[in-house]
Amino acid sequence: MRPLAWVGVILIIAGLVIVAMKGIPYTQSHNEVEVGPLKVTTQERGLVTPIVGVAAIVIGGVLVFAGRKTA
């Protein structure tokens, strides 16, 4: 298999995990204000939706198809 096909396989596996978990939550921290020893941060929570997983599966399939060896 060519490297392009391996990338496709990895995308398919990641897409399946995202769809199986019904999305992957994440938290992102931001430093808002820092004055001397005082530091105020905020946390933003988000969700990688299953639609992203389906898109990864489709794109991975295209890459596997494009990266297969020709005889």
pTM strictly above 0.85: no
Q: What is the pLDDT of residues 10-34, one digit of tens each?
A: 999 999 999 999 989 999 988 888 8
pLDDT of residue 3: 84
Distance CA 6, CA 37 (A): 48
pLDDT at 36: 85
Percent of the chain residues topping a pLDDT of 70: 94
pLDDT of residue 1: 67
8 A C-beta contact, residue 6 and residue 58: no
Tokens of 20: 């199986």
**pLDDT in the model for residue 70:** 59
